Amino acid sequence: MLDLTDKTALVTGASGGIGAEIARVLHKAGATVAISGTRTEPLEALASELGERVHVLPCNLSDAAAVDALPKQAVEAMGRVDVLVNNAGITRDNLFMRMSDDEWNSVLDVNLTATMKLCRGVLRGMMKARWGRIINISSIVGAIGNPGQANYAASKAGMIAMSKSLAYEVASRGITVNAVAPGFITTPMTDKLTDDQKTNLLSQIPAGRMGEAREIAAAVAYLASADAGYVTGTTLHVNGGMAML
């Protein structure tokens, strides 16, 4: 069992399926968690489920000022941030030839730029502490692409390259920076797929099933742990064999 007792973690997108599960697993391992997201209601529900050692920090990551403020709010709430999980992300799917500047920019702003700003915001404290864990939730499509998702795929590939570059810079300070790239995971978003779409999808997954949010959370918990101190700049693909990278 991974032990994160006395560690503090900031998780973005915790109002969504995967983010909430990440917060649950880190909390269960003993961490104090700050859960962030745009929708307050699910955050409050998650907070009451978890009970103690939890702070609700609503934040709209498309608001640049709110992004800059979030690391400070997390430090105010928990004293410091040992673990940052950049899980929040949005999609604005469209065929490339029809994709508007706004669809492109809004996805890059939230998925990539906000991730960069949050990393920058927590690094000072991690450098001083000589310990830190940054885990950026990318996606399989950041590695293999996906029609209709040029913006999303670019943002998720950007997160991987950014993580690697940052990992180089701060490795000597006890800070690791890694990415987790989920394949298709059962969430409210994927529940909306039709049976035909699901059958088609499953035929491409050697494991023959979709992944579960807790399987992403387990990967995050490992990378957040002290035991993963020698793992940095890597991308952990959790995709049932859909892409073996």
Asked whether position 80 contacts other proteins by CB under 8 A, the answer is no
Q: How many amino acids of this chain bind other proteins (CB under 8 A)?
A: 7
How far is residue 29 from each of residues 23, 32, 44, 121, 169, measured CA to CA in Å? 10, 9, 20, 25, 28
Query: Among 39, 72, 120, 128, which residue interacts with other proteins (rule: CB under 8 A)?
Result: 128
Q: Would you tell me the crossing angle of helices 40-50 and 17-28 to the nearest 10 degrees?
A: 20
Query: What is d(CA 241, CA 8) in angstroms, rounded to the nearest whole number?
Result: 32
Pair of tokens at residue 130:
């000589």
Query: What is d(CA 38, CA 12) in angstroms, rounded to the nearest whole number?
Result: 9
Query: Among 39, 72, 120, 124, which residue interacts with other proteins (rule: CB under 8 A)?
Result: 124
Nearer to other proteins, 31 or 175 (CB): 175
Query: Shortest Cβ distance from residue 142 to other proteins (Å)?
Result: 27
Contacts made by residues 142-148, CB under 8 angstroms, sequence distance 24+: 142/181, 143/181, 143/235, 143/237, 143/243, 143/245, 144/243, 147/95, 148/93, 148/94, 148/95
Nearer to other proteins, 68 or 103 (CB): 68
**Residue showing tokens 């996805």:** 107
Residue span binding other proteins (CB under 8 A) among the ranges 4-12, 88-96, 169-177, 231-239: 169-177
Residue span binding other proteins (CB under 8 A) among the ranges 3-11, 23-31, 70-78, 123-131: 123-131
For 211, phi then psi, to 5°, come to -85, 165
Nearer to other proteins, 2 or 127 (CB): 127
Asked whether position 127 contacts other proteins by CB under 8 A, the answer is yes
Query: So which residues are the catalytic ones?
Result: 152
Query: Shortest Cβ distance from residue 130 to other proteins (Å)?
Result: 10
Residue span binding other proteins (CB under 8 A) among the ranges 6-14, 77-85, 143-151, 166-174: 166-174
Nearer to other proteins, 140 or 170 (CB): 170
Query: What is d(CA 102, CA 127) in angstroms, rounded to the nearest whole number?
Result: 36
Query: What is d(CA 148, CA 198) in angstroms, rounded to the nearest whole number?
Result: 17
Nearer to other proteins, 39 or 72 (CB): 72
Asked whether position 194 contacts other proteins by CB under 8 A, the answer is no
Q: Could you say which DSSP state residue 112 is in?
A: I
Query: Among 76, 169, 191, 227, which residue interacts with other proteins (rule: CB under 8 A)?
Result: 169
List of residues contacting other proteins (CB under 8 A): 124, 127-128, 169-170, 172-173
